[in-house]
């Protein structure tokens, strides 16, 4: 099966690419600015040599179509996006990349009659917890995004529903919470990972944002596994799914880092991330079979080990 992975040399994309290669799939990475060093680091030198890399912008529909045709693509995994902080700084660019770009992916799938699209949505579509009566937010409730990034992701879910109902384009959206791990390039999650895990691993002080928050921590390998599982399923009843990791306070995560690194100099900055951390994941368990396998202790230990290994 031939896969096109947009943003495939990025953070989550590189782990998805690695998993697909390990499963024996043919992978074409489509990236505006390929980060081959990250890809090689995550995927491995030998495996990364098997990946075809195409430099391309998701806002260029003609190039997307040509690429999918040239490589006989059957499925698209769409991870390319402008992240939360950059969206807030440049809303016009956010709409162009995150909304128009996703429309181009769905249009490519429609024109070429591809079998599946899996795309990254976000738990930020829901907005703050006080908007909901339930402690664990159900899968199909209305959205109240509190930032541009969440609003773009909410629009994309509606767009994907339209392409399914009008044209039969089979897609699955996965609402990622805070995804952490080595290789993050930007966004709120990258700030948390850098200050809480990477800097202490290197013996540097960390000023951890959102210190008052309870976060749904999704380790990047769980995120990648959920995407690949979704890509392998037949048409699901649900069009976009809540997915989860390990729900823990930032303060508890910091205590565990201090347990691993007693000399860690960590300062928790007050504040909240701006969207709820608790979601009902009954549907993704039933329809896709996904359950998280990385508790935060295992994930934090892996990040610290990987950072130290990289820096000797």
Task: Quote the CA–CA distance of 227 and 49 in Å, as a whole number.
Answer: 22
Determine the pLDDT at residue 121. Answer: 98
What pLDDT digit, counting tens, does each position of 250-272 carry?
999 999 999 999 999 999 999 98
- With 90 as the cut, is the pLDDT of residue 217 above it? yes
What pLDDT digit, counting tens, does each position of 138-169 carry?
999 999 999 999 999 999 999 999 999 999 99
Determine the pLDDT at residue 144. Answer: 96
Determine the pLDDT at residue 306. Answer: 93
Q: Is 270 left (phi over 0), alpha (psi -120 to 50) or beta?
A: beta
Q: What is the pTM of this model?
A: 0.95
The arithmetic mean of pLDDT across residues 124-128, rounded, is: 94
Percent of the chain with pLDDT over 70: 98
State both tokens at 252: 């508890």
Which DSSP category does 123 fall into? G
The arithmetic mean of pLDDT across residues 65-87, rounded, is: 95
Task: Quote the CA–CA distance of 13 and 36 in Å, as a whole number.
Answer: 12
Sorted by where each starts, the structural domains of the chain and their CATH numbers stand as 2-178+220-244+276-292 (3.40.50.720)
DSSP letters spanning 187-246: SHHHHHHIIIIIHHHTT--EEES-TT-EEEEEEHHHHHHHHHHHHHS---S-SEEE---E
User: pLDDT category, 207, cuts 50, 70, 90?
Assistant: very high
User: pLDDT category, 198, cuts 50, 70, 90?
Assistant: very high
Closest to 229 (Cα-Cα) out of 79, 23, 26, 44: 23
H/E segment holding residue 81 = none
- With 90 as the cut, is the pLDDT of residue 93 above it? yes
Determine the pLDDT at residue 159. Answer: 98
Closest to 243 (Cα-Cα) out of 304, 192, 187, 179: 179
Query: Which residue's structure tokens are 């290789």?
Result: 183
User: pLDDT category, 190, cuts 50, 70, 90?
Assistant: confident
């Amino acid at each position: 099966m031939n896969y096109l992975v947009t943003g495939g040399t990025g953070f989550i994309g590189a782990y998805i690419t690695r998993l697909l290669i390990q499963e024996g799939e043919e992978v074409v990475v489509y990236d505006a600015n390929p980060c081959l060093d990250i890809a090689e680091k995550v995927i491995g030198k030998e495996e990364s040599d098997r990946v075809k890399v195409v430099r391309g912008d998701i806002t260029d529909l003609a190039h997307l179509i040509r690429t999918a045709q040239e490589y006989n693509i059957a499925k698209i995994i769409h991870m390319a996006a402008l992240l939360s902080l950059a969206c807030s700084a440049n809303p016009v660019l956010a709409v162009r990349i995150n909304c128009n770009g996703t429309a181009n992916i769905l249009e490519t799938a429609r024109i070429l009659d591809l079998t599946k699209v899996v795309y990254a949505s976000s738990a930020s579509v829901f907005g703050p917890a006080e908007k909901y009566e339930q402690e664990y937010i159900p899968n199909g409730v209305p959205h109240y995004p509190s930032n541009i990034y969440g609003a773009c992701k909410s629009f994309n879910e509606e767009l994907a529903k339209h392409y399914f109902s009008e044209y039969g384009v089979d897609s699955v959206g996965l609402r990622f919470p805070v995804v952490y791990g080595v290789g993050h390039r930007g966004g709120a999650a990258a700030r948390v990972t850098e200050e809480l895990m990477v800097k202490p691993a290197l013996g540097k002080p960390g000023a951890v944002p959102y210190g008052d928050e309870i976060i749904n921590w999704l380790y990047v390998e769980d995120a990648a596994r959920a995407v690949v599982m979704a890509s392998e399923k037949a048409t699901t009843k649900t069009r976009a799914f809540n997915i989860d990791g390990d729900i823990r306070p930032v303060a508890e995560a910091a205590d565990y880092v201090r347990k691993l690194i007693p000399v860690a100099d960590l300062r928790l900055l007050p504040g909240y991330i701006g969207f709820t951390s608790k979601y009902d994941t009954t549907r993704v368990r039933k329809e896709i079979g996904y359950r998280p396998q990385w508790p935060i202790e295992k994930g934090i230990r892996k990040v610290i080990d990987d950072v130290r290994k990289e820096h000797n």
